């Protein structure tokens, strides 16, 4: 039996309603495998938490970067509240150790686990909001997720690398970049792709990822570094 009091000690946030806390960590697959349980899965909490998280992040960015346009703020927010960053945050605070999953899901540590962790973080926010209100969630998000903002802004990670490399390639070498899958490996539920970015016939850089889109973004980022276009 998972002891959620250990997680409460770790986060220094003690829930009044322990069922809400437990529900936040309960994946749909666990309910399907344990139909006799009195628990509900966390999808409704995730729906609520997603909205609360977006408000907190938007409010924070609006105040922190007064010179940024609406488009820039939207791009920074998207970089911050994507599945990769949120799942990393969830992993950092130990959420992976408390997930209630089916036996099948528990064995899968690929991309599916990344989404489960990101969804659990949002469900936890929804549960905390119901249990203790907006200020408690605001404090939690400031402690766990928002510190990543500085790196995202300083390294300009919020800019879409594919758009930027296309803009620079057309400006400096008068070509439109093309992408080609160079290698594909792994089972269907945990694919790994290597993608090359080409200027005409020339391979400029490569990128790896768990989807073609992720690999293309990494390839574009590498090309920007190779060409010294990271302004």
Phi, psi of 100 (to 5 degrees): -100, 105
| Cβ atoms of 83 and 210 closer than 8 Å | no
Token pair in block for residue 13:
């946030």
119 assigned binding-site residue: yes
> Is residue 122 flagged as an active site residue?
yes
Would you give per-residue pLDDT tens digits along the chain (231 residues)?
788 999 999 999 999 999 999 999 999 999 988 888 888 999 999 999 999 999 999 999 999 999 998 878 888 898 889 888 999 999 999 999 999 998 877 877 766 788 899 999 999 999 999 999 999 999 999 999 999 998 888 777 666 788 788 888 988 999 999 999 999 998 887 889 999 999 999 999 999 988 888 899 899 989 988 998 865
Q: In degrees rounded to 5, what are phi and psi of residue 183?
A: -155, 145
- Of 6, 19, 33, 50, which residue is the catalytic one? 50
The single residue of 8, 19, 88, 122 carrying the catalytic annotation is 122
Are residues 27 and 115 in contact, defined by beta-carbon separation less than 8 angstroms? Answer: no
Q: What is the pLDDT of residue 160?
A: 72
Whether 135 is a known active-site residue: answer no
- Please tell me the predicted confidence (pLDDT) of residue 157: 65
pLDDT at 5: 94
Q: In angstroms, how far is the first alpha carbon of the chain from the final one?
A: 52
Which domains are present in the chain? 4-154 (1.10.1520.10), 161-226 (3.30.160.20)
What confidence score (pLDDT) does residue 154 get?
Answer: 79
- For residues 38 and 122, the answer to whether their CB atoms sit within 8 Å is no
The number of residues in the chain equals 231
The reply, when asked if residue 122 is annotated as ligand binding, is yes
- Please report how the helices 43-64 and 134-144 are oriented relative to each other, as an axis angle in degrees rounded to 10: 70
- Overall pTM > 0.75: no
Q: What is the distance between the alpha carbons of residues 30 and 88, in angstroms, rounded to a whole number?
A: 22
33 is in an annotated binding site: no
């Amino acid at each position: 039996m998972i002891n959620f009091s250990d997680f409460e000690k770790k986060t220094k946030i003690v829930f009044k309603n322990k069922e809400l806390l437990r529900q936040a960590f309960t994946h749909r697959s666990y309910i399907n495998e344990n139909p006799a349980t009195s628990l509900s899965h966390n999808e409704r909490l995730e729906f609520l938490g997603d909205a609360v998280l977006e408000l907190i992040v938007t409010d924070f960015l609006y105040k922190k970067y007064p010179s940024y346009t609406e488009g820039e703020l939207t791009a920074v927010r998207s970089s911050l509240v994507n599945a990769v960053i949120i799942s990393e945050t969830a992993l950092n605070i130990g959420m992976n150790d408390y997930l209630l999953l089916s036996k099948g899901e528990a064995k899968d540590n690929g991309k599916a686990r990344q989404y489960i962790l990101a969804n659990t973080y949002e469900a936890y926010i929804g549960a905390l909001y119901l249990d203790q209100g907006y200020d408690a969630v605001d404090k939690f998000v400031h402690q766990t997720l928002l510190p990543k903002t500085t790196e995202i802004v300083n390294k300009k990670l919020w800019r879409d690398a594919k758009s930027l490399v296309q803009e620079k390639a057309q400006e400096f070498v008068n070509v439109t970049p093309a992408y080609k899958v160079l290698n594909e490996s792994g089972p269907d539920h945990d694919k790994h792709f290597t993608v090359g970015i080409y200027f005409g016939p020339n391979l400029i850089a490569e990128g790896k990822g768990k989807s073609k889109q992720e690999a293309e973004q990494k390839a574009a980022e590498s090309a920007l570094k190779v060409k010294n276009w990271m302004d």
